[in-house]
Structure formats: C-alpha cells, structure tokens
Amino acid sequence: MNTTRRDLLTAALTAAGAAVTSDLARAQEHDHQAVPSDPTLRVKALESLLVAKGIVDRAALDALVDTYEHKVGPRNGARVVARAWRDGAYKHRLLINSTAAMAELGYGGAQGEQMVVLENSAKVHNLVVCTLCSCYPWPVLGLPPVWYRSAAYRSRSVIDPRGVLREFGLEIADDVEVRVWDSTAELRYLVLPERPAGTENMSEAELAALVTRDSMVGVGKVTAQRAGTRT
Ligand code: FE
C-alpha cells in the first residue's frame, strides 16, 4: 500500500468516525513526509476487520481510493488557480461566484457545494481552518491532510495564526493583514495564492504544476519552482 493510499484510508476512516488521532506537533516531528506508523497500522487493521465482517466491500473501497487518487484532489484546485491567474475574466467570476466558476471547469458536488475563493495579495494573507472538525473542499483539494484535522492546528490557527504560519515556514510581514476563515459543512474556502514572479510566459498546465495544496489552504506560498508537499 503506497503512501497516498494510506493517506486516503486514514482520512476515509476518520470521516467515518474511526478514532485516528494526531496533532500538529506530531505531524511536525515527522516533517510532514509520512503518516505516523501507529495510525497507519490501526487503519490497516480496521480495513481488514471491516472487510472480514462483510461491512465493507473491498472493491467498493478500491473504487473510493481510485476516485480520490485520480478524480478529485489538489490538482483540480491547482487548475482553478492557474486559470484565474491567466484569465482575468475567469478570476473575476471566481471571486464573485466561486461555486459557479469552479463548475465551469467541472468541479463541484459533495463537500464542495458552496465555495468561496479568497484572494491573497501583497496586503492580505488568507488562512483556512475548520475549528469544529475538518471541513475541507473535497472537489478541489481532495481529502484533508493529517495536520489540518489536528486539534493543534484547529485551535492555534485562530489564536496565533502568524505563529502557525511560521511553523509552516511562512513569515508574514507585520504590514500584511492575516485573515483566518473558519470552514463549515455549508461553506468551504479555497485560497487563490499570489502568482509568483517569473511565470509570465507559462502555460496554464505549467502554472498548475507549481500550485501546491498548502498554498490553497493558506499555509504556503507558490514559488516559481515547485516545492515539496506536506502529507
Ligand atoms: Fe468541519
């Protein structure tokens, strides 16, 4: 089972109510590169048990995994961002009616019924959290990462957003306003990150390849060279 599949199963079972716990500190210790071994093992055990008891059909589970590996995920959000960067009219529609503009590209549906896009600029940095649980725009970002679901991120993003951003490697200047947005089951957010300098001649596909999941949650910035992605 590869890392992506483990991530998915972890998230899927968490959504189903399984007690997979983690916190930001633990995620940081692992440098965001790997799922902690204990939850991974627990998820594997749960999957085996659910299949053995006939509660879950392994084929259905594989179809679910395939959906979230290949059909939904951050690549969708990246395409939305790249389109907005290159097409001013699309960007305008995206900021006025995000849900409809995303639907133009075929993205929408469950866990993304009502979307709002937040534009980062030289003066405003937006950060998205769900303080209550882990609401996240699945159609454009896929399933939420471990740290997004952690109690530490959910609470500290509100109390000390600049401190949290610093831990993600983002130092936000004092003259930049940090806005924290609390997602709900009804309303979910996607950050439109700033387009990096030096990308003026890039195609939409090239731009999309630069856009990270973290930048669309607000814990990262897009650089002209693709950075690593936290899990
Ligand atoms: Fe939530």
- pLDDT tens-digit map of 160-179: 999 999 999 999 999 999 99
CA of 84 to the centre of ligand 1 (A): 27
CA angle 219, 225, 231 (to 5 degrees): 40
Structural domains in the chain, CATH included, are: 3-70 (no CATH), 73-217 (3.90.330.10)
Both tokens of 32, joined, read 């965001």
Closest CA to 229 of 112, 120, 14, 74: 74
Distance CA 10, CA 4 (A): 10
- pLDDT value at residue 37: 75
- pLDDT value at residue 227: 52
CA of 45 to the centre of ligand 1 (A): 26
The model's pLDDT over 174-217, given as tens digits with 9 standing for 90+, comes to 999 999 999 999 999 999 999 999 999 999 999 999 999 999 99
In which residue ranges of the chain is pLDDT below 70? 1-36, 69, 226-231
- pLDDT value at residue 44: 84
- pLDDT value at residue 174: 96
- Positions annotated as catalytic residues are 130, 133-135
Distance CA 101, CA 93 (A): 6
Strands 115-119 and 188-192: parallel
CA of 158 to the centre of ligand 1 (A): 14
Distance CA 109, CA 118 (A): 19
- pLDDT value at residue 3: 46
- pLDDT value at residue 5: 46
- pLDDT value at residue 96: 98
Quick check: 126 and 120 in contact, CB under 8 A?
Answer: yes
CA of 29 to the centre of ligand 1 (A): 25
